[in-house]
Structure 1
């Protein structure tokens, strides 16, 4: 499926941004311009079932196929958050970016027994503004408003489709390209034990102290600081 994309900047370098569940390209409203200001042409997608992209069957490999079909190969940088991190990890061998960043990636989908199965996400489809604000006290008001807008056009079947993977271990065996795993603190997707295993497998791992799951909206400055050495300077 050809995905809807949004672009910031006209730099000589290219960066790819892949959002997480329930979001779309608008979640990167600060990251896109910040990278563009560092000389990147930044391309952000709407995954299938999100934003202005099409609907259809929902499986991790299909999310990955869409990225490979819609985005250029050989980008200087690719960043995937949560579900976007899972999709990017399954497409990175085809996209071949110079560097990849997996921001609190969905490499472990909790089961209902763990209290956070994929079905739980469907309850947020109609969440009121007050609930979103209360759950994300560090977000700017613009991010709360964007969350309401992205939820309105999100197909909650994307979450239900992942139920069969609940409890599965989806950690990559090794990085395909130099790769950073950026973690919330604490992360409900990557436990300390899994983080240590990722380091043993060759991934760089950096928690962003005190940040929630959507690191780039919870602590934008911390998110950008954790990318030093992984994004090119001006």
Structure 2
């Protein structure tokens, strides 16, 4: 599927941005202009089932990855993915061949069992109120809360079933295909300490952004950019 894209900047270098589940390109509303200020032309996608991109009968992670390859140019200077977007980017990275990749709090594994991930629970996010979003994300700016309401309204909840295929599986890359950074929440529920150490052994650089939750770039924009020092 050819995805909807949004572009910032006119720089000579190219950066690609891939959002997480329930979001769309607007999650990068501060990151993208910051990258443009560093001389990048920034392209952000809306994954299938999100934002202005098409809906589908299938939302597997492999389909998301194929969409990136179909939509985005090869050989970008930088590619950043968050959550589901980080997983999707990692599955497409060999074909996209960016010079550097950043996987922000990636969903490479989800727990199974009675207290594990259940897609039907994620779909309840569709009905969250402004007050509930604010309570779950106390560090977000008010614009991010408003944006979350708008993106949830557009989100196809069927995408949650596709994320369910990660449950009980380990999709962490065996190696860093390109120079790769993994910024993590504090603490990360998706990449605990032992998995972070495994990433380091596999050639990834791992950094933690203090005091942040899963959506690092919205919890602490400045801290997220600081974590990218030397990578942008």
TM-score when scaled to structure 2? 0.97
- Runs of 4+ with >4 A deviation: none
In structure 1, what is the Cα distance between the partners aligned to 2:165 and 2:5? 29
Aligned to 1:171: 172
Per the TM alignment, residue 115 of structure 1 is displaced from its structure 2 partner at its CA by: 4.0
Q: Give the match's secondary structure for 2:225.
A: helix
Alignment of 1:183-198 (within 5 A): 183-198=184-199
Alignment of 1:70-219 (within 5 A): 70-219=71-220
Q: In 1, are the aligned partners of 2:117 and 2:167 still within 8 Å (CA)? A: no
TM-superposition CA deviations, 1:33-71 (whole Å, max 9, x none): 000011000000000000000111110110000000000
Per the TM alignment, residue 167 of structure 1 is displaced from its structure 2 partner at its CA by: 1.7
In structure 2, what is the Cα distance between the partners aligned to 1:181 and 1:222? 14
In structure 1, what is the Cα distance between the partners aligned to 2:119 and 2:205? 27
Task: Give the aligned CA root-mean-square deviation in angstroms.
Answer: 0.9
Matched, 1:49 2:49: yes
Structure 2 portions without partners, runs of 5+: none
Q: Give the match's secondary structure for 1:210.
A: coil
TM-superposition CA deviations, 1:78-129 (whole Å, max 9, x none): 0000000000000000000000000001001233523433332101001000
Q: Give the match's secondary structure for 2:114.
A: helix
Q: In 1, are the aligned partners of 2:122 and 2:160 still within 8 Å (CA)? A: yes
Q: In 2, are the aligned partners of 1:111 and 1:118 still within 8 Å (CA)? A: no
Q: Give the match's secondary structure for 2:67.
A: helix
In structure 1, what is the Cα distance between the partners aligned to 2:174 and 2:229? 25
Per the TM alignment, residue 166 of structure 1 is displaced from its structure 2 partner at its CA by: 1.0
In structure 1, what is the Cα distance between the partners aligned to 2:63 and 2:162? 12
Q: Give the match's secondary structure for 1:162.
A: helix
In structure 2, what is the Cα distance between the partners aligned to 1:12 and 1:190? 34
Q: Give the match's secondary structure for 1:41.
A: strand
Aligned to 2:17: 17
Q: In 2, are the aligned partners of 1:49 and 1:154 still within 8 Å (CA)? A: yes
In structure 1, what is the Cα distance between the partners aligned to 2:118 and 2:106? 15
Aligned length: 231
Q: Give the match's secondary structure for 1:176.
A: coil
